[in-house]
Homo-oligomer: A and B are copies of this chain.
Amino acid sequence: MEKRVVVIGTGNVATHLTEALLSAGLPVAMLFSRTPRHAAEAGQRFQLPYTSDWSELPSDAGYYIYSVSDTALPEVLERKLAPEAIHLHTAGSIGMDVFGATKPRHGVLYPLQTFSKNKALNFKDVPLFIEASSPEVLGELNQLASLLSTKVRTISTAQRRQLHLAAVYACNFVNHLYALSAELIRQEDIPFEVLLPLITETAAKVKEMAPMEAQTGPAVRNDKTVMRQQMEWIDDLHIRELYRLLSESIVRLTKSND
């Protein structure tokens, strides 16, 4: 595994991926961002060559990993570049047809995790979901992915899309509920920290029991008195509407599983 890797993109995913590649001892040939400042920052962070000029990218690397926004991806892939190499994207919701005919050896390396540049994490524990244009490319991709993480799994585009969607609920929306709860107690001068044991335990419980079994609170008891009262205490119309809809959803799911 001495093929060199080029990483295109310098966002949260690209940053953690670059770190994982280096930790695994893989040669990262160059980092790319369309924005010169971002390219320079990434290059300095990792002490690696960087560019924002397509013509400066090496054409003889083994892997080109495109970790850019879903919107930018099709445009970025229009560049004719290293037709022999393996080209990979990291997006949850985008199929393999995005690569087109000029990049016949391609695949997807989708890490199921929430990445922020300044929050360290152990990439070895990040589930990596792979898909490739041929069994031969899949074999190579599997080797590469297994150097980065102990949790590699082959899935279809349809499965990956659904997984990405589930991640929006289990991570992005969950984090937003943390943000709203912080807002709610800030009004009463209570610091967010007091909620941390509850947040930790809520996440820990579903390691031991299914989420349906772990459900507590007024809605799962269908306690209309508490729900009505709590809704009255919410000043913000938008937050109140979320209370109503989420409570209804809990009541509905509980009934359908009775």
Q: Which residues of A contact B (CB under 8 A)?
A: 12, 69-71, 93, 112-116, 118-119, 121, 125-127, 151, 153, 155, 158-159, 161-185, 187-190, 192, 194-221, 223, 225-226, 229-230, 233-234, 238-239, 241-243, 245-246, 248-250, 252-253
Contact = CB atoms under 8 A, between A and B. Distances in A.
A140 B12 CA distance: 51
B197 A200 contact: no
Given A71-B225, A127-B194, A158-B188, 6 more contacts: A116-B213, A163-B194, A174-B199, A175-B205, A176-B215, A192-B211
Given A70-B226, A71-B225, A205-B119, A218 B168 contact: yes
A9 to B, nearest CB: 13
A69 B223 contact: yes
Given A127-B194, A188-B159, A192-B210, A246 B173 contact: yes
A206 to B, nearest CB: 5
A85 to B, nearest CB: 27
Among all A-B residue pairs, the 3 with the closest Cβ atoms: A172-B217, A203-B203, A179-B211
Copies in the complex: 2
Contact of A184 (B166, B175, B209): B166
Task: Pick the most buried of A119, A162, A252: most chain B CB atoms within 10 A of its CB.
Answer: A162
A181 B176 contact: no
B198 A170 contact: yes
A176 B207 CA distance: 15
A249 B253 contact: no
16 contacts: A115-B216, A116-B214, A162-B184, A165-B234, A166-B190, A167-B217, A168-B217, A168-B218, A170-B181, A170-B195, A172-B218, A175-B202, A176-B246, A179-B253, A238-B248, A242-B246
